[in-house]
Amino acid sequence: MQTKRKLVKIGHTAASAGLVGGLLAYMALLSVNAPETAAGYEQLRGSIKVISDWVIFPSLAIALVSGILSMVVHTPFQDRGWVWIKAALGILMFKGVLTVVNAKASYAAAVAADITAGTAAPDALDELLQLEWGTLWVVLAITLANIVLGVWRPRIVRFGTASGTKAQPATAPANDADRAADKAA
């Protein structure tokens, strides 16, 4: 069981790194000066779509699945409030990436192709670009909050077990104040 826990943790950590890296790469490409030609802009948008399709979305999927698996292979996580907060934030990240980031990357690539073909105005992506930046910052903030929760593991809420008794901490309290807080909970 210990090996399964370690493998799930490695997968979750690697996926989180991939997600942050993919979001930062997406932002880096958006921040470069627009290419001089419509064809160059179309290439830039194609690169962003590749990052979204091959790095961001798969990393998010692996992070979500490995996060759920970590609750299965390490049952004390089921009683930790920070884990449930991470799960809720993971759903928000999934919605943000699937419905906004990934969709916007695909849509923008198609509009860039239309601009190149001359069937769309050169400023057709201006409004989308503002929405894109806002969404990227929000998804990045949620991702970093999830990472902080996973590292910090604060004692936010502890849920009762099925028998109605309080769940026991996964590790012994570090000091007398922690012991007193455990007794009060």
Rounded average pLDDT over 146-174: 62
89 Cβ partners below 8 Å, 6+ apart?
A: 142, 145, 146, 149
Contact call for residues 104 and 132 (beta carbons, < 8 A): yes
pTM above 0.85, yes or no: no
pLDDT at res. 158: 58
In which residue are the tokens 């590292």 written?
151
Which of the residue ranges 16-20, 47-51, 169-173 would you say has the lowest mean pLDDT?
A: 169-173
Segment holding 37, helix H or strand E = none
Rounded average pLDDT over 96-121: 83
Contact call for residues 48 and 105 (beta carbons, < 8 A): yes
Tell me the pLDDT tens digit for each residue of 38-51. 788 788 888 988 99
pLDDT score of 162 more than 60: no
116 Cβ partners below 8 Å, 6+ apart?
A: 38, 39, 41, 42
